[in-house]
Each structure stands twice: as structure tokens, then as C-alpha cells.
């Protein structure tokens, strides 16, 4: 109670919902303060501040949406906002040169999330604009997401615009144990807590899928007790994807398989694969002449078009053909991984990463994230150091920059050093619907799922529509759909006690597609949960 103001049972119920979420329960006290703040302000006891929030997001999982959905229940209850819809402002931007703040007037959602990294803005540079929009749209709640691990700076820049501060922690082992316990208790499954310690020591997205399989196994076999052996077998199956004997066979087969065969096995990409062979022949001939060319490349295209897969095959080809004099290391990073948080650290970080990849391939995805509007930024330091490393080790490493087509063109034009050091630019076209069908069927085959005969038309029509969308995810979209199909299939099997646990039917696919459409409508990405 604060000066006669107290929380009612509905308030407490909403706050306690945070206990059911991983990584956010520490915000219960903050949410309690927000409720008291609302009560005091509505009774003219306080006349400062607003309802905006700075969120320090330390997690790589999409937990922010879960946290804000709970917060929105409080704001709706007290008539601060009208709906629980959340808009991630970066997802409304169709062109990179659009002004994100001009889009706010078109948004009907009540909570608007602004992430400076995704929008490529700087909070301090945009302070006046941010102040203007927060004052203009007082019927919205603005959430400033800080994912750059610079909490103090974000507070300094946004302190005038946001009254409250929340944090999202990395999901701990205790969080994962709590997650499993609640699911086991929900389905009346007995277990020993000490058996969960090793079981949950995996990435959270992996744990969710492991739990789905575990539930299917228990319900299909009418088991009520989960022992340590079951947990170990489940983890081994899901992490390894197969038995030890089968896994050894696959490793042996891949070891014996030539890189060019792996290249040919990739679905689609015919023009791209032909270009890779031409590049290989060009490099081999020039090496024989003693005129070794630069091996650095730029891959452009939408996500999920096979850029990473091709890069790995290139590393294997260089190893087999003795293009590079080492063991064919393949290092994959994001463009932002080259940037450090203190002056002078970025150059050292770039040097360490390049040194680790010497003798193989350094694949830098979303390399355009190094573009900055500020002169002398850490991003500029990363680019300058990377260009120097590309020249210093031109015969020892293949550095591949990858990302969206236009953004990569802008990056290369940003510094003339890129143009002189990048020898090959390869565009990756989108997959057509037939190739997308092949990818889906291969995913099913790899995990021993059987498909009903009625799936073809449903999937084909879905892929045709999905391909029309900007920055379509291609293979990534298919994998996401496949995971959702498994989720819907598992839910159906548990509810119906079906014994056909490897059979995917028409309704599983239809429900998965509906789930994706719903997420797109809500302009957010939902993780799998049970």
C-alpha cells in the first residue's frame, strides 16, 4: 500500500503472469510501480513523467513481446491504451531511406517499439524527433529497446522520454528447469528435479522442441513417469537428430563426399553453382601461373537463398583443391560481431576474428550493418580494419560479405577499398515454388515424417503467395513453416492420443500456415511454446 493506494486482485494476477515467462520475472516490482504510478497520476497526486519504457534486452530470444503483452493488460485495464497490439517500427519500413517516424501516424497499434540498431538511428542524434513524436502521440506507449549492451548510454539519451526501465535477462538454467516443471505438472507427469539439470543445458529453442517430442512419447505410450534415461535419450535424439550408429554413418558419408558433389546436391541455385565452378577454374589457373587473385567475395540476395551453404562448400572446395594452405576453417559471424563497445577495441576484435579464420572462409552475414551515419564511429573502424586485413591476408583467406542486394551495394560504395579487394560479386535469386516444395519434402524426409497426399496444392499456393512479399525468407521461410507444422502435428497427436506420431496430415499444414499469417498480421515473431 502507498498512501492508501493498493493493488487489487486483478492487478496481482496480471503481475504474477511474469512468473510464467522466462527472463522477465525480475520486472514484477517495476510493473507494480507502474500500476501505482497510474493510480496516483489519475487521481492528480503526480504530475510528472509518462508511461514509456526503456527495455535493456540481453536475450537472443523473442521475449520482449511476451513481456509487453503482460504490460499491455495493465495499460488497457486503466484506459491508458485501447488495444494490446504491438508494432515493431522497423517492420513497417519498406525502404531503407524511409523516415521511420513518418510511419507512426499510419500505425493503429498502442505500443510502439523502437530499436536504434534495427532502425539504424542513433538515440542521441534523433532525440528531438523522438521527443516530438512522443509528445504528439500521447495515446501510444513507446518502448525503447536497447540491445547494444550500453544501458548507461541509453538511460542518458532517453531519460527524458521514458519514465520506467525494465530488463530482459538471458534465459538461465533455473528458468529452463522452471519451464519444464510447469509443463510436466500441467500434463501430470512425475519426474525428479535433479534429473533435469543436464537435460535443460541446451539452447532454449532446442529445449522447446525436445519437450514436444517428450510429451508425444509419454502420451502415445501412456507413461506418467519420466526418468533420467528417458531424458537422456530424448536429448540425444533431438540434439544429434539420429542414433550414434546412424550419425557415424552420415559423418563418414559426408567425409567421403566431394565438395563439388555437395554443391550439386543443393536444391536449385543452378546459375549460382555454375558461377562458383567458373570462379574455381579461374582461381586454379591463375594460381598455376603464379598470379593468385584475391579470393574475397560478396553475396547478395534475400535471406534463406543458400548463401551460407554455398560459402561452406566453397571452403571445402578450397581445401580439397589446395587453393588455401590450411585446414579449411569456416567461421560464420554477423556484421555487428566485428564491432566492440570501447574505443580501440574494435580493431583488435576484427584482427582476432580474421586470424581465427585464416586458411579458410570468414563468412560475414548482414555485413551492411556496419554502415553508420556517424563519422569516426566504431563501425567505420571495423570497416577500415577489415579492408586492411583483406589486403594483408589476400592469399590466405577468403572473406565473404553477405546481405540484401541494395544494402550490400551501398556498403561497397561506402569505401573504395572494398571495390578493389572484392573480386567476385554473386547474386542469389529467390527460390521458385517448385524448389521450395523440394526443400520442405527434404526436411520431412530427413526427420522421417510422412506426408498425406493432399499437401501439395496447399503448400504450393502458400509458397506462391509468400514469394510475393518483400525480402521473402526463401529456405528460411520453409524451415520456419516446417517447425510450425511439427508443432501443430505434435499438438494434434497429444490431444487425440494418435499413435501415428510420424504422420503429417492436411490440417497440420493448414494450421501452421494460419499461424504464420496471424504472426504477420500482428507484425511480430512468436517462438514455439506449449
Q: For 266-291, write each residue's pLDDT tens digit.
A: 888 888 888 888 988 888 888 888 78
Q: Is 304 left (phi over 0), alpha (psi -120 to 50) or beta?
A: left
For 233, the grid coordinates are 535419450
* 96-104 long-range contacts, CB within 8 A, separation 24+: 96/120, 96/406, 96/407, 96/410, 101/126, 101/129, 101/130, 101/132, 101/133, 104/133, 104/137, 104/140
What pLDDT is stored for residue 37 in this prediction? 94
The domain limits of the chain are 9-168, 173-240, 257-428, 432-521
- 9-168 and 257-428 share one fold: yes
Integer Cα distance of 319 and 317 in angstroms:
5
Helix axes 228-240, 204-220, angle to 10 degrees: 120
Residue 151, burial from CB neighbour count under 10 angstroms (0-12, 13-18, 19+): middle
On whether the CB atoms of residues 506 and 454 are closer than 8 A, the answer is yes
Angle at CA of residue 125, ends 124 and 128, nearest 5°: 90
- Please name which of 427, 405, 317 lies closest in space to residue 361, comparing C-alpha atoms: 317
Which residue in the block uniquely carries the three cell numbers 531424458? 231
What pLDDT is stored for residue 14 in this prediction? 95
DSSP designation for 524: S
On whether the CB atoms of residues 211 and 530 are closer than 8 A, the answer is yes
What pLDDT is stored for residue 99 in this prediction? 74
What pLDDT is stored for residue 76 in this prediction? 95
Integer Cα distance of 414 and 372 in angstroms:
10
Specify the CATH number of the domain 257-428.
3.40.50.300
Q: What share of the chain is helix, strand, coil (3-state, %, to 5)?
A: 55, 10, 35
For 460, the grid coordinates are 504450393
Distances from the Cα of 505 to the Cα of 41, 158, 361, 378, 512, angstroms? 54, 50, 41, 51, 11
Model pTM?
0.55
DSSP designation for 190: B
What pLDDT is stored for residue 328 in this prediction? 63
For 472, the grid coordinates are 521473402
What pLDDT is stored for residue 244 in this prediction? 44
State the fold for domain 432-521. Helicase, Ruva Protein; domain 3 (1.10.8)
- Per run of 10 residues, the mean pLDDT along the chain (length 530 residues) is 71 91 89 94 89 87 87 95 88 68 83 83 82 89 80 71 90 84 87 86 80 81 85 75 45 62 83 88 85 88 87 85 73 85 81 88 88 71 90 88 88 83 89 90 87 82 85 84 86 82 87 74 41
What pLDDT is stored for residue 521 in this prediction? 56
For 230, the grid coordinates are 528417458
Pick the CATH number of 9-168 from 3.40.50.10800, 3.90.1150.10, 3.40.50.300, 3.40.50.1360: 3.40.50.300
Amino acid at each position: 500500500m502507498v498512501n492508501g493506494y493498493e493493488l487489487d486482485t486483478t492487478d496481482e494476477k496480471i503481475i504474477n503472469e511474469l512468473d510464467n515467462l522466462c527472463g522477465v520475472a525480475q520486472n514484477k516490482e517495476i510493473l507494480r510501480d507502474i500500476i501505482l504510478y497510474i493510480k496516483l497520476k489519475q487521481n492528480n497526486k503526480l504530475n510528472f513523467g509518462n508511461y514509456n519504457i526503456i527495455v535493456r534486452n540481453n536475450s537472443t530470444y523473442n521475449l520482449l513481446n511476451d513481456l509487453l503483452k503482460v504490460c499491455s493488460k495493465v495499460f488497457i485495464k486503466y484506459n491508458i491504451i485501447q488495444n494490446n497490439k504491438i508494432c515493431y517500427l522497423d517492420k513497417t519500413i519498406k525502404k531503407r531511406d524511409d523516415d521511420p517516424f513518418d510511419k507512426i501516424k499510419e500505425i493503429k497499434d498502442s505500443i510502439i517499439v523502437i530499436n536504434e540498431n534495427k532502425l539504424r538511428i542513433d538515440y542521441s542524434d534523433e532525440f528531438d524527433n523522438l521527443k516530438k513524436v512522443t509528445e504528439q502521440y500521447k495515446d501510444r506507449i513507446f518502448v525503447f529497446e536497447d540491445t547494444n549492451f550500453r544501458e548507461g548510454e541509453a538511460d542518458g539519451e532517453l531519460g527524458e522520454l521514458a519514465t520506467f526501465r525494465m530488463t530482459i535477462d538471458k534465459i538461465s538454467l533455473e528458468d529452463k528447469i522452471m519451464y519444464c516443471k510447469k509443463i510436466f505438472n500441467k500434463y501430470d507427469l512425475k519426474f525428479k528435479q535433479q534429473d533435469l539439470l543436464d537435460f535443460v543445458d541446451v539452447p532454449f529453442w532446442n529445449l522447446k522442441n525436445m519437450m514436444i517430442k517428450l510429451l508425444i512419447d509419454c502420451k502415445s505410450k501412456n507413461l506418467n513417469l519420466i526418468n533420467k534415461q528417458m531424458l537422456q535419450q530424448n536429448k540425444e535424439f533431438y540434439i544429434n537428430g539420429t542414433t550414434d550408429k546412424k550419425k557415424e554413418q552420415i559423418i563418414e558419408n559426408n567425409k567421403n563426399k566431394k565438395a563439388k558433389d555437395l554443391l550439386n546436391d543443393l536444391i536449385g541455385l543452378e546459375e549460382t553453382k555454375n558461377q562458383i565452378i567458373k570462379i574455381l577454374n579461374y582461381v586454379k589457373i591463375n594460381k598455376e601461373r603464379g598470379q593468385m587473385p584475391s579470393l574475397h567475395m560478396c553475396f547478395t540476395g534475400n535471406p534463406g537463398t543458400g548463401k551460407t551453404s554455398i560459402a561452406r562448400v566453397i571452403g571445402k572446395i578450397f581445401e580439397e583443391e589446395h587453393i588455401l594452405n590450411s585446414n579449411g576453417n569456416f567461421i560464420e559471424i554477423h556484421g555487428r560481431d566485428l564491432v566492440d563497445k570501447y574505443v580501440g577495441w574494435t580493431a583488435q576484435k576484427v584482427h582476432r576474428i580474421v586470424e581465427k579464420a585464416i586458411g579458410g572462409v570468414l563468412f560475414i552475414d548482414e555485413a551492411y550493418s556496419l554502415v553508420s551515419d556517424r563519422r569516426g564511429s566504431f563501425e567505420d573502424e571495423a570497416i577500415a580494419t577489415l579492408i586492411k586485413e583483406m589486403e594483408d591476408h589476400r592469399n590466405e583467406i577468403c572473406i565473404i560479405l553477405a546481405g540484401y542486394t541494395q544494402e550490400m551495394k551501398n556498403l561497397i560504395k561506402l569505401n573504395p577499398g572494398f571495390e578493389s579487394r572484392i573480386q567476385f560479386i554473386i547474386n542469389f535469386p529467390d527460390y521458385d515454388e517448385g524448389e521450395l516444395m523440394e526443400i520442405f519434402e527434404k526436411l520431412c524426409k530427413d526427420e522421417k515424417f510422412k506426408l498425406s497426399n493432399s499437401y501439395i496444392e496447399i503448400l504450393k499456393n502458400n509458397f506462391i503467395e509468400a514469394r510475393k512479399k518483400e525480402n521473402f525468407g526463401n529456405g528460411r521461410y520453409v524451415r520456419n513453416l516446417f517447425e510450425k507444422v511439427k508443432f501443430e502435428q505434435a499438438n494434434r497427436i497429444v490431444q487425440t492420443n494418435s499413435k501415428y506420431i510420424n504422420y503429417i496430415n492436411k490440417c497440420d499444414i493448414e494450421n501452421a500456415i494460419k499461424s504464420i499469417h496471424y504472426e504477420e498480421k500482428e507484425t511480430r515473431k512468436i517462438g514455439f511454446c506449449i
